[in-house]
Amino acid sequence: MGLLSIFKRRRTFDHGIYPVEHKELTADRPIRRLPFAPELVIPLAQHKGAPAIPLVSVGQEVVRGEPIARADGFVSVPMHAPATGVIRAIALSPTADGPKTQAIFLKVYEAASQEVLYDLERDLDAMGPDEIVAAVQDAGLVGLGGAAFPSHVKMRPPSGRVIETVIVNGCECEPYLTCDHRIMLEQTDALIRGIRLALKATGAKQAIIGVEDNKLDAVAHLRARLSKDLPISAEAVETKYPQGAEKMLIKSLLGKEVPVGGLPADVGVAVYNVGTLAQMGDLLPQGRGLIERVVTVSGPAVDHPGNFLVPIGTPLRFLLEQVGLGDRAGEVILGGPMMGMAVASLDVPVTKAVSGVVALEREDPDLARRKVYPCIKCAECLKACPVSLNPSMLGELALARQYERMADAFHLDQCFECGCCAYVCPSNIPLTQYFRIAKSINRDQKRLKGNG
Amino acid sequence: MARRIEIRTSPHLKRALSVDQIMRNVVFALLPVCTFAIYQFGLSALLLLLTTTGVAIATEWFFARMSQGGNTVADWSVVITGLLLGLTLPPGFPLWMAAVAAFVGVALGKALFGGLGYNVMNPALVGRAFVQAAFPVAITTWTPAFAPNRFSELIPSTLTLPFMQPVPVGDWIAGLELDAWTGATPLALQKFQHVEVPVTEVFTGMIAGSAGETSAILILVCGLWLAAKRMLDWRIPVAVMAGAALTALPFWLLDGSLYPSPWFVLFSGGLMLGAWFMASDMVASPVTASGAILYGLLIGVLTVVIRLFGGLVEGVMYAILLANAAGPLISGWTQPRVYGAIKRARGPK
């Protein structure tokens, strides 16, 4: 950073922040399997798009890997049984987002094996692009980096758009999280298989794996495994938050900007998280579905932090019992501490989009409720905002309840709530939360006008 | 097992830097400047700084109580105002007038607008502008630096009774039996007699002038320290200095005997203190990077224009106040280009 960066320039984007990483807690902990929780809770809406439709009924026995809910249309994915057991109920379950949603409650048999018995062998080389897209949907794959957008949808860009480059996101810019790092080191073959599938399905000419330069071991490891004849390269990018945000990584690697209101496909790019592609490479050859994922469980309030292969639907309470949650625990966050959501209940299950569970200490010195001062126009937020908004002005407008003006004159809709502005604000103004509220009010207003 | 967990909104991490820390560091950066002022002008400068700072704090406290806005003294910003005001006044400035300046600066310049973060102009300069208009004689009465008795007796005008004309200092200065006392600051000498004091002298501060404006080098070092800590936007002072030097350059080239050199312009008068510690006031300057440059240039240009062609000897104060007023407009013009936008974002209409 600072002066040194002038001499040693890594590819990067404008602005951003350098929070303390805390990755040393789990970076060298290999991925370990966890036992099954007595009961798994599989919400039907773990992804963006239409919720899945249950295929099972209460009392029915299911085998690990068996489909238990089907996709409802193209922008939707199916669910698979993460363990062998019996369906206890289909009812409401708490989620991290707040409102309860429909979920399948699966009582796991005590002697249930970790082996997946539900197989459907396939010859990958014989599959055409359309078959891959269908197979990806059947596998229930969504963006495992946290976005949870159905992966197969990104393989079919809007008409008129051509995917030229697949960007493989191995940045993992959130503090504490190391699951993608471990995946790149431990599931390299599956990852490369997944990248080749994505290349074939999208018709892209090249794939670039973008990795923050705090994981140079992963870059070296990937480069050693990539044969020369593959159009796949691994590139180090600067360790800076939010490097792993889709738009930032595209800018860092290709120098292109996704137009306002547009998609990565508008600049010929599809971005996939390394975890998603590793699962793709792992699941597709055997025709399996997504039933578990790698989760980093870390934070100062966790006794034995690590990277774990967690069955989808494992309640946080069970997961945290396995690693030991100290009495000092305050917040339990799904995802990373910058963009993750603090859960209100430990009954919330791990879903497909959960890359990490971070437990912070109560009255964490970093979080001690600090005095909120008026904005002193120090411009730190302008220097931090990765999409070059004016959070200072947006914050003042939010206080004045001028939500429409925020969107019309100051590009509120470009904010993706990365949290950089609130992180740097010396006045401790909860800017990100202001913008979240403003956006939701604007959405409601638009809906009302639309109906009116 | 019932476990109490907490819920907050993201981001769940926060950089450990808050407003009071920034303000405290600005105060620290000003302390060497204050110390030099006291060393140079003695007890009178000490009393002057104590008065402006004390009255500024008291005023802030009073208005915070009136508005039930809680204790806002603890954010340290008002200490900066008090110190800066003291540093811009002549060392022998009557204390009661200094108190008026501090009260007006904080009351009219800050509290009236809503306190910290809402003032349009730099409160210290608002206070100084008020006494410049109210007490034109006292504010241009200069006393020599390094008077031999400066630590044993006060400059006579310091203890002028409230609402009285300042005690004349002519006899006192004559009593010092200094060789080269002309009764004018380097700026005035240059302007009216076209005599340029050597740059080395104005640079190090071995001259007459306002209490804390004389040593350009000291102010520069303190400002650079603050900029290195990223508690000051370097663009503003650099732009002020560039604007001033570039405006002065053609005139000096045209007639060096009549117009001051760019070096002299930079290091004389209040330009350094103004550029590094007053123009850079976060609250009253534009938030955008390009806006900060534009704003700084404007101050530099205006300062030189006032110095060369205005009725006043020094132009920094009015230049900054004018640029402060233009700040929101400049911010509006220079909104950053948003990621993925084709055109520049439109500012406020």
Name chain A contacts of B12, Cβ cutoff 8 Å.
331, 333, 337-338, 340, 342, 358, 360, 367
Q: Do B335 and A390 touch (CB under 8 A)?
A: yes
Three-class SS state of A41 = strand
pLDDT in tens, A247-271: 999 999 999 999 998 999 999 999 9
Contact A46, A353 (CB under 8 A): yes
Hey, what are A48's tokens?
A: 């963006």
The CA distance from B61 to the nearest CA of chain A, in Å, is: 16
Mutate to test the interface with A, among B1, B3, B10, B73 (most CBs of A within 10 A): B10
pTM of the model as a whole? 0.90
Query: Which among A352, A336, A212 is positioned nearest to A294, based on CA atoms?
Result: A352
Angle, helix A403-410 to helix A431-451, in steps of 10 degrees: 100
List the single residue in B with minimal CA-CA distance to A13: B339
Same domain, B124 and B34: yes
Mutate to test the interface with A, among B75, B110, B229, B339 (most CBs of A within 10 A): B339
End-to-end CA distance of chain B: 57
Domain annotation for chain A: domains and CATH numbers: 4-28+126-286 (3.40.50.11540), 32-108+289-361 (3.10.20.600), 380-451 (no CATH)
* A383 interface with B at CB cutoff 8 Å: yes
**B193, exposed or middle or buried, with CB in 10 Å at 0-12, 13-18, 19+?**
exposed
Contact B3, A324 (CB under 8 A): no
Within a domain: B12: no
Q: Do A337 and B13 touch (CB under 8 A)?
A: yes
Three-class SS state of A295 = strand
Within a domain: B346: no
Hey, what are A434's tokens?
A: 């202001």
Name chain A contacts of B22, Cβ cutoff 8 Å.
376, 378, 426
Q: Do A392 and B287 touch (CB under 8 A)?
A: yes
Within a domain: B49: yes
Q: What is the DSSP letter of B338?
A: P
Q: How far apart are CA A342 and CA B7, in angstroms?
A: 5
Q: Please report the sign of the dihedral spanned by the C-alpha atoms of residue B68, residue B71, residue B76, residue B81.
A: positive
pLDDT in tens, B287-301: 999 999 999 999 999
Going by pLDDT thresholds of 50, 70 and 90, the confidence category of residue A395 is very high
Mutate to test the interface with A, among B3, B17, B18, B19 (most CBs of A within 10 A): B19
In DSSP notation, A334-360 reads ES-TTT-EE-S-TTPBP-TT--EEEEE
Same domain, B189 and B177: no
Question: In the predicted model, what is the mean pLDDT of residues A157-180?
Answer: 94
Same domain, B224 and B156: no
pLDDT in tens, A266-322: 999 999 999 999 999 999 998 899 999 999 999 999 999 999 999 999 999 999 999
Q: How far apart are CA A432 and CA A112, in angstroms?
A: 44
Same domain, B32 and B96: yes
Highest-scoring range by mean pLDDT, A75-79, B141-145, B146-150, B186-190: A75-79
Q: What is the percent of chain B where pLDDT is above 90?
A: 54
B151, B183, B215: which is the final residue of a domain? B183
Q: Please report the sign of the dihedral spanned by the C-alpha atoms of residue A147, residue A151, residue A153, residue A157.
A: positive
Contact B224, B281 (CB under 8 A): no
Hey, what are A66's tokens?
A: 């068996």
Measured at the CA of A425, the angle between CA A423 and CA A431, to 5 degrees, comes to 75
Domain count along chain B: 2
Q: How far apart are CA A177 and CA B192, in angstroms?
A: 68
Q: Do B22 and A375 touch (CB under 8 A)?
A: no
Mutate to test the interface with B, among A388, A406, A414, A420 (most CBs of B within 10 A): A388
The CA distance from A431 to the nearest CA of chain B, in Å, is: 10
Q: What is the DSSP letter of B111?
A: G
Same domain, B75 and B149: yes
Going by pLDDT thresholds of 50, 70 and 90, the confidence category of residue B345 is very low
Per-residue confidence (pLDDT) for residue B348, from 0 to 100 = 46
Q: How far apart are CA A263 and CA A161, in angstroms?
A: 10
List the single residue in B with minimal CA-CA distance to A391: B287
Least CB-CB distance to B9: which of A379, A414, A433?
Answer: A433
Boundaries of domain holding B156: 19-141+143-183
Same domain, B201 and B178: no
Going by pLDDT thresholds of 50, 70 and 90, the confidence category of residue B153 is confident
Q: Do A410 and B345 touch (CB under 8 A)?
A: yes
In DSSP notation, A91-130 reads EEEEETTEEEEEEEEEEEPTT--SS--------GGG--HH
Q: Which residues share a beta bridge with A87? A: A106
Hey, what are B234's tokens?
A: 């370097």
* A344 interface with B at CB cutoff 8 Å: yes
